[in-house]
Chains A and B, each alone.
Chain A
Amino acid sequence: MISKIDGLLEEIPRICEQLYQNDIINANQGMAKIFPEINRLYLDVINMRADYEAIGIDLPVEILISQLKNMLEAYEAKDVIMLADCLKYEIYEGLLYFRGIADAKK
């Protein structure tokens, strides 16, 4: 999981830059790759909610779901600014958080 998160943390800034630059073709290619990965990762983490609770980590599930919803809305609407904002300021932070709790779980 950690390597997947690290891969996404590396990809996201590049795709955000393409989105802010209105470089839609390249951004779409990148998004097609990371979108299912982010989705899966978020759902995996949310599904492990009980495991995390057992080690004293209270997952902010509502926030995580709202981040996922925002990304989905922006992606479906092809709203490049919302998508870039969401990736840069929400998903990226979410992934850093996942990385932190994954380390703690180890």
Chain B
Amino acid sequence: MQKNNILFEKNIAIIKRRLIPLHDGLLKYIETRIEEGKVIIDESARGEKVVGVVRDNRCWYLNSRYDAENAVKCWADGVEEINFRGIVIMNGISNMMYAREMLKRLGKDNILVLFEPDPAILVKVIEETDVSDILEDDRVFIFANDINMTFFRQYFGILFEYDRINYSKILTLPNYGMLFPDEIGEFEELCEKELIAIHTDKNTYIHLGEEINDNHIDNIWSSIFSSSIDELKKTIDKTDIKGVPAIIVAAGPSLDKNIELVREAKGKALIVAVDSAIKAMMARDIIPDLLVTIDSHKPMSLFEDERIEYIPLVICMQSRVEILQKHKGKMFMSANMSYIKSIYRQLGTDLSVLSTGGSVANNAFSLVKFLGFKTIIFIGQDLAFTDNKKHVKNAYTETAVGEDESEEYIEIEDQNGDPILTFRNFKLYRDWFESEIRDNPDLHVINATEGGAKIHGTEIITFREAIDKYCNKNVDFNKLIELAADSFSAEQKLEYFEILMDMPNKLNKLKKRFEKGIRDYNRFYELLRKGKNGTSEFRHVLKSIEEVNNIDLKEQIMEFVVMYAMEDEYRLIEGIYDVEKSADIKSEGREIADRGISMLNSYIKACARVIERVEYVLENIVDENRIEMLKAEVESHKKEK
């Protein structure tokens, strides 16, 4: 069908340029498709190309067979007004006339996400109709089952900025609900989960933002002298780990059942413990190969055993600072903020991100996936209240599952398909694992927890069986991990330290820029009030305001500032685009100026807070002796040259 198909060539060339995962998925689907003929392209009475799906001995048309354009206009007339920052998600593409009409009615800042549950429809439309105008449109993103859905979550996080969420709308094209109820249901559930994740992030930042940001700044010192997960990967890559599993030891109550067996797997699998499980492991003298700690407020009681200080630690900038400071063994940094990532890049090295669903076990999963392990075994990954308990013995002093927290509970499916109680956030962690497993078909994930929630997509066996079946090759991970280099050379470490020293200076400049921004906002309102909004001065003030509002795009250190101002920012963003139509230009201008000034005042306060924290680091955390030693090392390198 594709050979000499001009329409297909034209459409696919645009897709290749704009929507790469869709392009690759489409070509793969076309190569392997088996069912042809169930989707047809017909002509309406007006000669328009319309789509039909043959099912149950009848043809379901997805457009009017008499006057498709008129029906599409009628459909679009029924869509309620969409905010200028809104995102429209359409279930179904039909012949894309609906999308074309919607685009005519949307503004330049809107986004249109098209979801096609049946890949055969998308392929047919691309093969037989000219939809190049829609494919070319920067506002359009297309996802189709069996083609590029594995990329949906990544795009979702980027497209659905927090301020757009309240203005998003899901529309279903006629007949799609009848033909594809399950597929549409699943897609909408996926959207809902992603939205919940965005809200959860927001709540986390509001409740823990200050603490997290304190850690971000305090941990700069540790990051100068750490290794990174990228260096760890380089080392692991030197060994053949094909057929070697990674075992993630989490702290669910079922860990008591099989923790002793971890000893047997040592040297035959990479043993990665999450921080909550370490106390139980140490109580049995079982030392993991890696320990992951991410939470900014992890109880120090978990780290009391001095031997833990020598276990290679996987961290990120928000990890609890006290844990990093007392650690004597190797530390592997991962990225959780772009500013630090940009510093690494500036110094000529990489720092990769470990994606997460909110729990440290999610990070551990991302870590082993990043390191290249294809077989992943879970133990202690209950994610539910097995035998009415929340965690393994020794982890925490905890209250029993009871009425007082019942609002936080939800019922999910256990490993036998029976109902089991869990925390709502545990369900989110499980959902994240399931999405990862679905999106990474090359991974083989074994749930050897022997209790707790069912994680769909995993092989459920006992840990004994998992060890016998998968842990058959010897690899000395202890030795390998010790070989990983630091992220930076002595010269780079000094350069990084200078960046830290220069931060207050940078932040003071930013403060001055925000103060000017406030003056600009006041001038903006004054000019508006006097009716001078057509003057060159007004345009100049507007440009200056635009610059200050986009300063985070130029100054990456703003990430620290924004984190301290997060609560104010969320509050000010709420309803920012609900401009009342009846409001006159002057009161609208006052509202804009007031919001802008509030935000800039909040940034000024946050700048002072970052400066204060950096000064705290320089006075209390930085070890001058270490800096002197670095300087001496750099000097000796120079002499050697």
Contacts and interface: CB of A to CB of B under 8 A. Distances in A.
Interface centre among B78, B174, B177 (most CB of A within 10 A): B174
A57 interface: no
B174 A22 contact: yes
Contact of A88 (B66, B77, B173, B178): B66
A81 to B, nearest CB: 5
B74 interface: yes
A14 to B, nearest CB: 11
Contacts of B63: 81
B481 interface: no
Interface string B59-98: 0111111110001001101100000000000000000000
A77 B58 contact: yes
Give chain A's interface secondary structure class: helix
A101 to B, nearest CB: 24
Interface string A29-60: 00000000000000000000000000000000
Contacts of B77: 17, 21
B64 A78 contact: no
Contacts of A82: 60-61, 65
A84 B70 CA distance: 12
Interface string A56-86: 0000000000000000010001111110110
B75 A81 contact: no
Interface string A12-35: 000011011111100000000000
A79 B64 contact: no
A81 B71 contact: yes
Given A20-B74, A21-B77, A22-B177, A81 B62 contact: yes
Contacts, number: 60
A80 B175 contact: yes
A81 B61 contact: yes
Contacts of A23: 78
B388 to A, nearest CB: 44
B74 A22 contact: no
Q: Bin chain A's interface residue count.
A: 10 to 19
B320 to A, nearest CB: 52
A88 B45 CA distance: 14
B325 interface: no
Interface string B34-60: 000000000001000000000000101
Contacts of A85: 64-66, 71
Contacts of A16: 74
B66 A17 contact: no
Interface in B147-190: 172-175, 177-178
B80 to A, nearest CB: 11
B608 to A, nearest CB: 54
Contacts of A24: 177
A20 B71 contact: yes
Contacts of A89: 45, 66-67
Contact of B174 (A20, A73, A77, A88): A20
Contacts of A78: 178
A81 B75 CA distance: 11
A81 B423 CA distance: 44
A28 B75 CA distance: 17
A88 to B, nearest CB: 7
B75 A21 contact: yes
A93 to B, nearest CB: 11
Contacts of B66: 85, 88-89
Given A17-B78, A21-B74, A21-B75, A81 B64 contact: yes
B100 to A, nearest CB: 16
Contacts of B172: 22
Nearest to A24: B177
A22 B71 CA distance: 11
A17 B64 contact: no
Contacts of B174: 19-22, 80-81, 84
B267 to A, nearest CB: 60
Contacts of A79: 58, 60-61, 175, 178
Interface string B447-467: 000000000000000000000
A85 B63 CA distance: 10
A21 B177 CA distance: 13
A71 B64 CA distance: 14
Contact of B64 (A21, A77, A84): A84
A90 to B, nearest CB: 9
Contacts of A19: 174
Contacts of B78: 17, 20-23
Contacts of A17: 74, 77-78
Contacts of A80: 174-175, 178
Given A21-B77, A81-B174, 14 more contacts: A17-B74, A17-B78, A20-B74, A20-B174, A21-B78, A22-B78, A23-B78, A79-B58, A79-B61, A79-B178, A82-B60, A82-B61, A84-B71, A89-B45
Interface of A: 16-17, 19-24, 73, 77-82, 84-85, 88-89
Interface of B: 45, 58, 60-67, 71, 74-75, 77-78, 172-175, 177-178
15 contacts: A20-B174, A21-B75, A22-B177, A24-B177, A79-B178, A80-B178, A81-B63, A81-B64, A81-B174, A82-B65, A84-B64, A85-B64, A85-B65, A85-B71, A88-B66
